[in-house]
Structure 1
Amino acid sequence: MNHYLARQPIVDRQGHVVAYELLYRNSEANVYTAQDPNDATRQVLDTAYHVMGLDTVSQQLPVFVNFTRDLIVHHHHWNIAPGNLIIEVLESIEFDEEILKALKQLKRAGYQIALDDFNCNASIHGIPEIIRIADFIKIDFQAPLNRQQCTENLARRSGKKLIAEKIETLDEYKRSLETGYTYFQGYFFGKPELLVKKSTPLFIDGQIVVHVPHI
Structure 2
Amino acid sequence: MIDLSQHDAGPRNLRVREFYLGRQPILDRNQNLFGYELLFRNAPVGPAHITTELSATAAVIAHASQLGMERTVGDALGFVNVDADVIMTDIFAFLPREKMVLEICATEPVTPLLLARVEELAGQGLRFALADVSGENETIVALLPWIEYIKMDMRTPLSTLMKLAPRFRQQKKKLVAEKVETREDFKNALDLEFDYFQGYYFSRPVIMSGKKLSPSQLAVMELMTLVTSDADNIDIERAIKRDVSLALNLLRLVNTPAVGARQRIESLSQAVTLLGRRQLQRWLQIMLYAEPSKRGHSMTPLLMLATTRGRLLELLAGKLRPSQRHVADVAFTVGIMSLMDTLFGMPMAEILAQIPVNDDVSQALLARDGFHGDLLKLAECIERIEEMDDHIVPALRNLAMSADELVELELAAFEWSDNVVRYAL
TM-score (norm 2): 0.40
Q: 1:196 aligns with which of 407, 410, 414?
A: 407
Query: Whole-Å Cα distance in 1 between the matches of residues 156 and 55 of structure 2?
Result: 27
Q: Specify the alignment match of 1:16 in structure 2.
A: 32
Mapped pair 1:68 → 2:279: no
Q: Partner of 1:138: helix, strand, or coil? A: strand
CA distance in 2, matches of 1:159, 1:22: 25
Name 2:101's counterpart in structure 1.
86
**Secondary structure of the residue that 2:163 maps to in structure 1?**
helix
In structure 1, C-alpha distance between the alignment counterparts of 2:53 and 2:160, rounded to whole Å: 26
Q: Does the 8 Å CA contact 2:134/2:153 hold for their aligned counterparts?
A: no
Equivalent of residue 162 in structure 1, options 175, 184, 188: 175
Q: Distance in 2 between matches of 1:165 and 1:145?
A: 13
Q: Sequence identity, in percent?
A: 30
Aligned residues: 189
After TM superposition, the structure 1 = structure 2 runs for residues 20-99 of structure 1, keeping only pairs within 5 Å, are: 20-27=36-43, 37-51=53-67, 53-72=68-87, 74-76=88-90, 78-81=92-95, 82-99=97-114
After TM superposition, give the deviation of residue 154 of structure 1 in Å. 2.3
2-side partners of 1:2 and 1:108: how far apart? Answer: 33
Paired AA for residue 76 in structure 1: D
| Residue 135 of structure 1: aligned partner | 148
**What is the one-letter code of the residue matched to 2:182?**
T
State how far apart, in whole Å, the 2-side matches of 1:57 and 1:71 are. 20
* Equivalent residues in 2 for 1:104-115, closer than 5 Å: 104-115=119-130
Q: What SS class does the counterpart of residue 184 from structure 1 fall into?
A: strand
Residue 190 of structure 2 is aligned to residue 174 of structure 1? no
The 1-side partners of 2:106 and 2:51 are apart by 18
Higher RCO (C-alpha 8 Å, min separation 6): 1
Q: Does the aligned pair in 2 maintain the 1:118–1:137 contact within 8 Å?
A: yes
Q: Supply the distance in 2 between the matched residues of 1:152 and 1:9 (Cα, whole angstroms).
A: 21
Q: Distance in 1 between matches of 2:134 and 2:112?
A: 18
With 157-166 and 94-103 compared, the bigger mean Cα shift is at: 94-103
The whole-number CA distance in structure 2 between the counterparts of 1:54 and 1:117 is: 24
The one-letter code matched in structure 1 to 2:124 is A
Change in 2 beyond 3 A, CA 1:125/1:162: closer
Unpaired runs of at least 5, structure 1: 29-33, 199-215
Moved more, 166-175 or 186-195: 186-195
**Change beyond 3 A, Cα 1:115–1:107:** same
Query: Contact conserved, 1:4 with 1:47, CA < 8 A, in 2?
Result: no
- CA–CA distance in structure 2, aligned partners of residues 132 and 80 of structure 1: 25
Per the alignment, in what secondary structure is the counterpart of residue 148 of structure 1?
helix
For residue 152 of structure 2, what is the amino acid of its counterpart? I
Whether the aligned pair in 2 keeps the contact of 1:5 and 1:196 (CA below 8 Å) is yes
More strand per residue: 1 or 2? 1
| CA displacement 1:70-92 (0-9 Å, x = unmatched) | 112x1335533422111000233
TM-score (structure 1 length as normaliser) = 0.76
Query: Unmatched 5+ residue regions in structure 2?
Result: 1-16, 45-49, 204-379, 386-405, 410-425
* Bigger radius of gyration: 2
Residue aligning to 2:421: none
Q: Secondary structure at the match of 1:75?
A: coil
Instruction: Indicate conservation of the 8 Å contact 1:23/1:44, yes or no.
Output: no
Going by fraction, where is helix more abundant, 1 or 2? 2
**RMSD, matched Cα:** 2.7
